[in-house]
Structure 1
Amino acid sequence: MSALSAWFWNERFWLPQNVTWADLADTESGEQYPRAGHLLYALPTALGIFTLRLLFERFIGRPCALRLGLQGKGPRRAQPNSILEKVFTSITKCPDGKHLEGLSKQLDWDARKIQRWFRQRRNQDKPSLVTKFSESMWRFIFYSYIFSYGVWFLWSTPWLWDTRQCWYNYPYQPLTSSLYYYYIQELAFYWSLVFSQFTDIKRKDFLLMFIHHLAAVSLISFSYVNNMARVGTLVLCLHDSADSFLEAAKMANYAKYQRFCDTMFISFGLVFVVTRIFIFPTWILNTTLFESWELIGPYPSWWLFNGILLILQVLHMIWSWLIIRVAYKSLTKGKVGTGKCHPLPVLKDERSDIESSSEEEDTTVNSTKGIYNTSSNGANRVNGHAANGQWADE
């Protein structure tokens, strides 16, 4: 274990040349630098956030949803049928034509009735709108808070206005209490998402989101340990800027305030594209790649940190394209003049949404492209995930 620890904490990987961990020990003057042990405090904080979330959703989110008229009950349950239940649990949840023909002869039901049963059976275990509204409301509150805290903290820091300050005298940059609290809160929130995935609404991308949350935890921890926390705070705040708009749009959609939903989605798309496609490369990547090279030079963890940020930028471009494509498709294919169409797609969480509620219309799914149309509502959906806090919505 000693040899493994020495290999993992190799100073030549983590720190610039001629810098050791002993150099970053607490000074006699009281200055303190980031240490890996500080990150352990994020775990009890994460449990506190998780507990607070449960209380919030129970005593604030749910009453608000009910007051807005959302239904607390889930979709209608399928009538008991042992034959269809066996097929559903052991063979397929979406029977093809061959299965439908066989079941139709066996039960003396027409194919449309069997399709309806399977649709109801798929939907019956899915959450109610009240549950989804409460979850989005919690995320909206937290994202709004943490972004506001980040702006408040960074406003008085020199590196917000001059990013070269992120690298002056690096890594001998003392840890302040505000920076520490900001990092611990962000890290604890992502740890709480890891915990809550096992109690949250079960979605089709469970594994992907689990990996995403662990990746976020790793990135935050990595930038803290090698004291790239100054530029890390800029990355965190930038990525928190769009999330509250998306959660607000989802809440408005659940409550059927479509105009407000459209406004929030437009705001989300604009903020996401501007911050990820323009500000991130010109502000963040410029300082991590060029200004840091000029002031401190490259070393192994520097290469890894910038490599991850470059991969993140590629993902930003993909997700921005998906957002723009959804908006474009809705604008060009909307049924103008019906009084029921809106310029932007109805926001729904593809990972958990109830299928078409129409008993007479079938749902056509194109899962390979991540976009599908439901015949009863014409909603276009696109699937994607953001590195800081996840989105899987139009």
Structure 2
Amino acid sequence: MNLWERIGSVIWSEWFWFPDNATWKSLENKPGSGVYYPQTSDLLYSFGIAISLYIIRLLYEKVVVAPFGVYCGIKTDRPRRAPQNDVLEREYKHKRQPDFSQLQIYAKRTDMEVRQVERWFRLRRNQDRPSPMKKFTETGWRFTYYFGIWIYGLLVLYDKEYLWDNRKCWENFPHQDVTPGIFWYYIIELGFYLSLMFSQFLDVKRKDFFEMFLHHIATVLLLSFSYMGNYLRVGTLVLLIHDCADFWVEAAKLAKYAKAHRLCDILFAVFAIVWFITRLLLYPLKILKASWILSVEIVGFFPSLYFFNGWLCILLVLHFYWFSLICRVAYDALTKSSEVSTKDVDDVRSESEEPVSDETENSHMNGNCIKAQNDNAMGNHVDVGNNSVSNHNHTKAG
């Protein structure tokens, strides 16, 4: 037995994956039986779903969300471009925010004043930041997806006994067949997070880019793990609980971008209440109880169950941390004026546009006059968005 065969024998060990009454062979699908068990090869469908969702997203943002954004008064213009300067452009690619000593060096190299160099870098950074319309369309897509998949989850789960009686999650485990509705619910969710993994490189760049990339990888791995082990009953309940809070926060962000401040505050309050009920009450009292206590009573101990439950407990810890961020936003909103508090509901994960004073530049900048608007850029505060207070977000470790 070579190295790869040894590794494979460990990874696919039946003692790790199943209780004593199950083997991989017992979960093979038999033609004409009318029963379907999850197969590892099913996960390949998620790649096709990921590509399809990304194409649908591009069309939806362009045809539906963008026109709606124009109707709501979302700005489509981008910040003023920085004047062409090859020397500063090369330095900008190495460091976007140079310190004062570096600014002095650049000023000498370009025969400019330090203030002019500093202003050039501000303009250049603003140039790379996404427009309000870009943020609005991305948020509009996420709102539509989360709301749609939550409704779909309700439709395929409302008549399932284990939704109401969690002991049914482990009845006859792992020999639990999968209905077409549950199959596609799981595969679509997995495909969505696969699409986020590669679309993240094309979307609005966030400050926590690598953290969210690792989050998406962890989510994909855990969804795949739970599918292969046929933890779909508990997994679908975890997905349903998470999705019902996500679309509220995306709706709050849409209202913020549209400058509907009062609506934004109301939606954010609903989001906070739904989050508290679903993730800090229902999740531990229903999901973790079913996964930790009822599973051992009904099925008994086996290693993959504890691995799965360990990740669900980590998720609960993250829930408390994210809720503390939500409370911080709510506290800021209650202690400030409504106008200021709504501005605090900003996207900390993306950079806000920097103010640049209106001053006329000399001929050192190719004779161009830099007249940047003296806008009051919103400061970096905690985002009500899914992926900052959370999106994402919370790892849906179903």
User: Which bin holds the TM-score, normalised by the shorter protein?
Assistant: 0.7 to 0.9
Aligned to 1:364: none
Aligned partner (choices 54, 64, 70) of residue 60 of structure 1: 64
Aligned partner (choices 330, 339, 353) of residue 333 of structure 2: 330
Change (3 A) 1:168 1:288: same
Count residues with an aligned counterpart: 371
Return the letter of the residue paired with 1:39: L
Rounded to whole Å, the distance in 2 between the matches of 1:305 and 1:312 is 11
Rounded to whole Å, the distance in 2 between the matches of 1:2 and 1:78 is 58
Residue 171 (structure 1) aligned with residue 174 (structure 2): yes
Aligned to 2:288: 285
Report if aligned partners of 2:255, 2:264 keep a CA contact under 8 Å in 1.
yes
The runs of 5 or more residues in structure 2 that have no matched partner are: 359-374
Aligned to 2:256: 253
Aligned to 2:302: 299
Q: CA deviation at 1:101?
A: 4.3
Rounded to whole Å, the distance in 2 between the matches of 1:187 and 1:55 is 21
Rounded to whole Å, the distance in 1 between the matches of 2:304 and 2:35 is 24
Change (3 A) 1:352 1:128: same
Change (3 A) 1:104 1:47: closer
Aligned partner (choices 308, 317, 321) of residue 318 of structure 1: 321
Tell me which moved more, 178-187 or 103-112. Answer: 103-112
Residue 159 (structure 1) aligned with residue 162 (structure 2): yes
Aligned to 2:186: 183
Aligned to 1:7: 10
Return the letter of the residue paired with 2:190: L
Alignment of 1:93-132 (within 5 A): 93-103=96-106, 111-132=114-135
Rounded to whole Å, the distance in 2 between the matches of 1:82 and 1:216 is 42
Q: CA deviation at 1:111?
A: 4.7
Report if aligned partners of 2:351, 2:380 keep a CA contact under 8 Å in 1.
no
Alignment of 1:264-283 (within 5 A): 264-283=267-286
CA-to-aligned-CA distance 1:102-121 (integer Å, 9 cap, x gap): 55566675554443322111
Rounded to whole Å, the distance in 1 between the matches of 2:319 and 2:294 is 22
Aligned to 1:376: 376
Aligned partner (choices 235, 239, 242) of residue 239 of structure 1: 242
Aligned to 1:140: 143
Cα-Cα RMSD: 2.3
Residue 50 (structure 1) aligned with residue 54 (structure 2): yes
Q: CA deviation at 1:281?
A: 0.7
Q: CA deviation at 1:26?
A: 2.0
Aligned to 2:344: 346
**Under a length normalisation based on structure 1, what TM-score does the superposition of the two structures give?**
0.87
Return the letter of the residue paired with 1:36: T
Change (3 A) 1:58 1:193: same
Return the letter of the residue paired with 1:121: R
Report if aligned partners of 1:65, 1:133 keep a CA contact under 8 Å in 2.
yes
Rounded to whole Å, the distance in 1 between the matches of 2:325 and 2:159 is 36
The runs of 5 or more residues in structure 1 that have no matched partner are: 361-374
Rounded to whole Å, the distance in 2 between the matches of 1:273 and 1:252 is 22
Kindly indicate whether structure 1 or structure 2 has the higher relative contact order, using CA contacts under 8 Å at least 6 residues apart: 2
Aligned partner (choices 352, 357, 360) of residue 359 of structure 1: 357
Report if aligned partners of 1:171, 1:227 keep a CA contact under 8 Å in 2.
yes
Q: CA deviation at 1:99?
A: 3.1
Return the letter of the residue paired with 2:382: V
Equivalent pairs: percent with the same residue?
A: 43
Return the letter of the residue paired with 2:243: D
Return the letter of the residue paired with 1:31: V
Aligned to 1:208: 211
Rounded to whole Å, the distance in 1 between the matches of 2:344 and 2:382 is 11
Rounded to whole Å, the distance in 1 between the matches of 2:198 and 2:378 is 35
Residue 71 (structure 1) aligned with residue 75 (structure 2): yes
